[in-house]
Amino acid sequence: MESEIRNEIVQSIKRLPTLPIIFEKILDTIDDPRSSAGELQETIKNDQSITAKVLNMANSAYYGYTKQVSDLTRAVVILGFDMVKNIALSVSVFNLFPEGNEEGGFDREQFWLHSIATGYLGKIIAEECRFYEPDKAFISCLLHDIGKVVLDCCFEKKYIDTVKIKNIKNISLREAEEQVFGCSHTDVGFWLGEKWNFPDELLESIKNHHDPTISAKRHSQLTYLTYLANIICQEEEIGFGGTLLPVTFLPETFDVLNLNNKKIRKIREEIQAMKEKLEAMVIAMK
């Protein structure tokens, strides 16, 4: 039975769209140290959905402008290079998945808030521990739970049952997924990443973000970073990824990432200071 369900999941992933071209182009822009806000604008201006979301964010109550912002160039100036880039990355992926059934207990809006906040947390941690690619950290943390959306979209009724089991037994969503599907969202995210030709480092961080100890040593820093960002985001209660159970950091996390309690406090303060902006971002992206 489990093998049949797994096969259904794999077949469902094969039917999902390929990674959006706009996502790949933005990655190319990120990888080029000479890239500018102007080049990013050129990349996204032909995508009406992303342009609309960027303008929505620039016109949100968070920024409080009295005049309507209707020009992409002006929006980029208001929001900044990083914010526009992160909106574009997020929208290009989120648009692939239709809205879920909130009655099933899996709140998609709160899930995206958790995902985006974890992405920003990953970038904050990366800069604090001097990880060589903060943008890669953002992407890893943004997509760490993408397998949950695949299961919710492709197996809606089963995922409603999964959420019910999680609540009744007071277990993690991942444990409930294992009981229903014989695999978890980390496996599904890994399989989707393979379809999208993600690099090995990103595949490992998605698959092992609940247990970074099993990640290959050469990829362990990104996996530990994603693991830590996910936990802190849960504890700071920014969005909801489906589980809120007490978690203790693996003791080696601080050593791998060159962090200490003082730095962790600073990281928590930074993401809390961004909470209102992140909430406005998710609303603008709807």
Instruction: Using DSSP, state whether 175 is helix, strand or coil.
Output: helix
Residue range(s) occupied by CATH 1.10.3210.10 in the chain: 100-285
CA 268 to chain centre: 18
Q: Which residue in the block uniquely carries the two structure tokens 């958790």?
A: 114
Burial of 109 (0-12, 13-18, 19+ CB in 10 A): middle
DSSP string, 34-45: T--HHHHHHHHT
Q: What is the pLDDT of residue 43?
A: 83
Q: Which residues contact 38 (CB under 8 A, 6 or more apart)?
A: none
Over residues 15-28, the pLDDT tens digits come to: 888 888 888 888 77
| Residue range 100-285, CATH number | 1.10.3210.10
Beta carbons within 10 angstroms of residue 137's beta carbon? 27
Query: Which of these, 108, 114, 117, 206, lies nearest to 163 by C-alpha position?
Result: 108
* pTM score: 0.92
Terminal CA-to-CA distance of the chain, rounded, Å? 37
Query: Which of these, 233, 271, 228, 232, lies nearest to 129 by C-alpha position?
Result: 228
Rounded Cα distance, 41 and 43, in Å: 5
Tens of pLDDT along the chain (286 residues) come to: 556 777 889 898 888 888 888 888 887 777 677 777 777 788 888 888 999 999 999 999 898 887 899 999 999 889 988 899 899 999 988 888 877 666 656 788 899 999 999 999 999 999 999 887 888 999 999 999 999 999 998 998 999 999 999 999 999 999 999 999 999 999 999 999 999 999 999 999 999 999 999 988 888 999 999 999 999 999 999 998 877 766 788 989 999 999 999 999 999 999 999 999 999 999 998 8
Instruction: Using DSSP, state whether 247 is helix, strand or coil.
Output: coil
